[in-house]
């Protein structure tokens, strides 16, 4: 199944870079969540199952939820060629105060490189 393989590859990537393999699986599954809506666009699976799939934390949980999908449902061909991602304009960008104070100075403002700065 394509969704399962995608999640599996993400988990492998995160496990390889993690000190704790269990955390790598959770992080890989968390990263996979953003792709669920893309995979399910146009399929009549119901809001609760769709939400559950978008909140997975493990491959076992994904397997369980994928088992609840009806494999006899035909592919929604009406979605072919339709955008599957964000269709509205991107959000407004906010820069830290002073970031563009001088176009000749490429030094980031103090505090802009902090882990919790949002940047």
Query: Measured between alpha carbons, how far is 116 from 18 in angstroms, rounded to an integer?
Result: 21
Residues 6+ apart with CB under 8 A from 55: 33
Write out pLDDT tens, residues 3-33: 999 999 999 999 888 787 778 899 999 999 9
Residue entry with tokens 């009549």: 44
Question: In this predicted structure, what is the pLDDT of residue 119?
Answer: 46
pLDDT at residue 64 greater than cutoff 50: yes
Say if residues 10 and 2 touch (Cβ distance below 8 Å): no
Return the domain boundaries, the chain: 2-79
Q: Name the band, by pLDDT with cuts 50, 70 and 90, for residue 91.
A: confident
């Amino acid at each position: 199944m394509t969704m399962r393989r995608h999640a599996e590859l993400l988990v492998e990537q995160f496990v390889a870079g993690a000190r704790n393999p269990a955390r790598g699986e959770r992080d890989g599954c968390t990263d996979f969540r953003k792709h669920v809506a893309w995979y399910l666009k146009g399929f009549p699976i119901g809001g609760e199952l769709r939400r559950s799939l978008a909140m997975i934390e493990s491959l076992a949980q994904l397997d369980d939820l994928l088992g609840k999908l009806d494999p006899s449902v035909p592919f929604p061909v009406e979605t072919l060629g339709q955008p599957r991602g964000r269709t509205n304009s991107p959000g407004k960008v906010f820069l830290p105060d002073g970031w563009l104070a001088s176009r000749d100075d490429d030094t980031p403002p103090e505090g802009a490189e902090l882990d919790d700065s949002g940047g």
